[in-house]
Each structure stands twice: as C-alpha cells, then as structure tokens.
C-alpha cells in the first residue's frame, strides 16, 4: 500500500508544471522541517507521510492563527 502511495506521489510530481513546483516548494520545506523537529525518531521514509492526525497537528502547530506572510 505504501509503495503505491509513493509511486503515485512521484508520478504526480514528475508531471507537475514548474510554476506549481516552485509554489509548493516552500510549503513542503516548512512541513518537512516541522516533521524533522517533531518526529526525529521516525525513519525519514515514513516521517514525511501525511495522514489525518499528523496533518491536524501540523495545522495546529504551524498554520492556524498564523498571520499572513
């Protein structure tokens, strides 16, 4: 199951327009940095996987009540 998710994500990334890649890059870096800080003991292959509970924690910690940048 995980392999299918990774393959789909990689295929979507390869086919994504360049301007979209640039737009997403800083947001992805923010999420990955947060994951590194919050889940340092989780192996990196799984650390960045997005799922419900982790998404809500990220939104609570980093997004909700954040002023516009």
Interval 6-52: pLDDT, tens: 889 888 888 888 888 888 899 999 999 999 999 999 988 889 999 99
69 pLDDT band (50/70/90 cuts)?
A: low
38 close to 57: Cβ distance less than 8 angstroms: yes
Q: Where are the domains of the chain?
A: 24-69
CA 23 to chain centre: 13
Residue 21's nearest CA partner among 32, 30, 31, 12 is 12
Whole-angstrom Cα distance, residue 61 to residue 39? 13
For the chain, state the CA radius of gyration: 13
How high is the pLDDT of residue 52? Answer: 93
């Amino acid at each position: 199951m995980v392999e299918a998710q990774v393959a789909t994500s990689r295929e979507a990334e390869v086919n994504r327009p360049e301007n979209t890649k640039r737009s997403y890059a800083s947001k992805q870096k923010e999420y990955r940095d947060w994951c590194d800080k919050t889940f340092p003991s989780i192996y990196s292959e799984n650390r960045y996987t997005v799922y419900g509970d982790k998404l809500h924690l990220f939104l609570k910690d980093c997004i909700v009540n954040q002023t516009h940048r």
